[in-house]
Amino acid sequence: MTPPHIQAHHPAHYPVMLAETLEYLAVKPDGRYLDCTAGLGGHTSAIAALLTAGGKLISNDRDVESLEMARTTAAEWADRIEFQHGSFSELKATNLDGIVADLGVSKFQLTTGPRGFSFQADGPLDMRMDQTQGHTAADLLNHSGEKAIANWLHQFGEERRARKIAGAIVRARPIRSTLHLAGVVELASPRTGPLHPATRTFMALRMVVNREQEELDALLVRAPQMVKPGGRIVIISFMSLEDRKVKESFRELARDKKALILTKKPLVPSEREVRDNPPSRSAKLRAVEIVDQADERLIKGMKPNKWQRGGI
């Protein structure tokens, strides 16, 4: 049964850089694909719609509630989709023609109070994408040392006032809710621009709670092993920290002659997309094609811009 707060809160969903994703994924009607981040089902639905009965899409997410909404969104193509619940480090698949991962947090997660991802709505300080396991943000803030909290804010949130904010959090414990935390941060670091002073703190805590950097590392190791030669990997990131990891991983694959980089520079959303869906403005898309060392493009040393575009 769908929880009441999901039934009442299903905002308009805009799959980020959808046209670009499909172009670089170059979907084959009878191919096998993996959507690592089903979210609300936007990319999943679009990929499944391009498949025939002989094709297969695995749609994965670590958020059970989002996965259920993706299942509803993509119901028309249910015969060619296998939904699964799990993190990147739990992914298991072989002989795939393509993988896509959108590393962003969905609007549903950010605006649903009981999930605790944002100060846009008051609620328990949870932040777990998978609410079946792990420590909540409240657990970490109320039981960790000041130095550890400061390190998280500095490393993952790139927060310049990390130590001052960490000290304020420790003095204000126990931290009770999202708005309580936002208020503590704002007192310690007053607003100086359009960005709310608690934005980086919330981002850093979400990353720590969900082990996002470790999970991304796992994906970057596993994805090339799951895709067969000729298959594509498309990753959309929203933070510089993530984009750097993706860029370096793809470059290493290219250096080892295991992949061809399809995006010499990351693609960014069009002006129209940013206008229609402002949260997409920080998105960056990178793509590679897995190859074997006998690929004539490696032998001839062809430049990416001669063959990079995949076609839908």
Angle at which helices 18-25 and 42-49 pack, to 10 degrees? 50
For 1, 19, 277, the CA distances from 8, given in Å and listed in that order, are: 13, 29, 21
307 φ/ψ angles, rounded to the nearest 5 degrees: -145, 5
Q: Which residues of 120-143 are buried (b: 16+ CB within 10 A; e: fewer)?
A: bbebebbbbbebeebebbbebbee
pLDDT, residue 4, reads: 34
d(CA 46, CA 37): 13
Select from 12, 215, 196 the least CA-distant residue to 130.
Answer: 215
pLDDT, residue 297, reads: 74
State which fold the 131-209 domain adopts. Answer: DNA polymerase; domain 1 (1.10.150)
- Identify any residues that bridge with 57 across adjacent strands, giving them in sequence order: 33, 81
d(CA 15, CA 28): 20
3-state helix, strand, coil in the chain (%, to 5): 50, 15, 40
d(CA 210, CA 141): 14
> At 194, is the secondary structure helix, strand, or coil?
coil
- Total length of the chain: 312
State which fold the 4-107+213-306 domain adopts. Answer: Rossmann fold (3.40.50)
d(CA 11, CA 18): 18
DSSP 260-291: EES-SS-B---HHHHHH-GGGGG-EEEEEEE-
d(CA 209, CA 23): 34
Cα–chain-centroid distance for residue 255? 25
d(CA 146, CA 261): 42
Query: Where exactly are the structural domains of the chain?
Result: 4-107+213-306, 131-209
pLDDT, residue 111, reads: 80
d(CA 307, CA 304): 6
Q: Are strands 56-61 and 96-102 parallel, antiparallel or unpaired?
A: unpaired
Mean pLDDT, consecutive 10-residue stretches, the chain (312 aa), reads 35 82 98 97 97 97 94 97 97 97 88 88 93 94 98 96 98 97 96 91 96 97 98 97 97 96 97 94 97 74 49 38
pLDDT, residue 209, reads: 97
Q: What is the CA radius of gyration of the chain?
A: 20
